[in-house]
Structure formats: C-alpha cells, structure tokens
Amino acid sequence: MKILVGVKRVVDFNVRIQVKADGSGVATEGVKMSMNPFDEIAVEEALRLKEAGKAEEVIAITIGPKASQEQLRTALAMGADRAIHVETDEDVQPLTAARILKAITDKEEPKIVMLGKQAIDDDNNQTAQMLAALANWPQATFASKIDVDGDSANVTREIDAGLETLSIDLPAVISTDLRLNEPRYVKLPDIMKAKRKPIETFTIAELGIEPAAAVKVLKTSAPAARQAGIKVASVDELVAALKEKGLI
C-alpha cells in the first residue's frame, strides 16, 4: 500500500510575521522557511503506518518554487521513500492544489492521501476536502487517531462537541490534526543521505492541469495594536472596575 503525503513550504511557526510596506503580502525574503507543522504530523503518521507494516511506501509531494525541495528533503530525512515536486512560481490556491494532487493520485494510485488539515500561512483548510470530492473518495478530516486494517480505516476526529470515530473504506483522503502524534527528531546522517536522493519533478502544464480561478488578495495588513491594560492594587479594586464596565 502506498501513502501519498502533501508537504508545503511556509514561514516557520517561530518567526514573527511581518507585512510588506506596500501591503501586497507577507515578507518572506531572508525569513526562515519550514515544513507546515500539520504536514509534518502527516508525514510522521504515514511513516508510523509503514513501520507498523500497514504500508509499503511513503511518497512526499510538494507544490511550489524550486526552494520547496528543501521541505521534501526534510520528509526524505524523516523516512519517506520518494519525493515528487510539482514546480511553479505562481501562488497555488486550494482548488488548483487539489487538481494537481488528483493528477498525481491517478498516476501513483495510493490507498491513502494524507494532508495536514490546513497550512499555517493561509489557514484555508480546503485542499483535503476538495481532493476527496474530485477523486470521489471517502474523507476523514482533523484526525487525532488513525487505525488502518486492510482496506478500511477507523479515524478518530476532533469536532466541536468532542470526538467522533469514522470507519472509512480505502482509498481515502485523511487530514491530520495537532494531537495525532509528535513528529520525530531528524538526525544529521539522515539529513545528509536525503540530500543525495532523487526528486521527481513535474510542471503544472506537464500534468495537464487547468489552474482554477484564483481569489485575489487586495491588501494585507497587520492586526491593530492592542490597547494597554490597567493594573489594580487589590481584588476589591478589580471588582469595582469590572462593575464600572458592566462586566459583572
């Protein structure tokens, strides 16, 4: 069984985001970039399924500029068997990404496509659902536990009311949530080995994909600065201040 795992290059989650002076987007030049944290969890879960004998091959895929190969090599260093890069310098939005993943899915025929539930740069939370619709496959989103048994999987997912468990037939699309696992630490020898592994490269045109109409971003701005708070000397003063504001 193959597992195809999506990987996206994003600004590292530890970096303080800065908006460009002209409001055209987020500054990325000279900024540390990393694998989307939700995607890292997806890679880890795919590798655990392989180590448990539930899968034979884990394939990492990314869509983006040439620099995105850095994140693919991170996935290879973690233990992925192969890597695929769909190279483009254009901004790829969820529907186009889903169409690209559908084309690669048709080519590779995996039993599971595993994606992070969302990317921390745009927070769209759409690609997994769109891919499932295009492929006409079952989907299980926000997975916090995955048990694969032959041609089916039981997926525990997080919902507003708590947890629910779905039983789905494979092939299927699964998106991962934060509490699914803790990604492994990548060792230096594995990083060095990953640098020598080949990466299969395609363009969007070679896959015959028609890019979807894109949402146009008119302006990006930083959140308004928070007003300074006030300090109180005692509980009585705090209660009085809350009463004055009508909060209690």
User: Which domains, from first to last, does the chain contain?
Assistant: 2-217 (3.40.50.620)
Q: What is the mean pLDDT of residues 183-197?
A: 91
218: confidence class by pLDDT, cuts 50, 70, 90:
confident
55: confidence class by pLDDT, cuts 50, 70, 90:
very high
Residue 52, SS3 per DSSP: coil
* Distances 162 to 115, 156, 159, 186 between C-alpha atoms, Å: 22, 10, 5, 33
User: What does the alpha-carbon distance between residue 221 and residue 20 come to, in Å, rounded to a whole number?
Assistant: 8
User: What does the alpha-carbon distance between residue 123 and residue 162 come to, in Å, rounded to a whole number?
Assistant: 22
Predicted confidence (pLDDT) per residue in 108-166, tens digit = 999 999 999 999 888 889 999 999 999 999 999 999 999 999 999 999 998 888 899 99
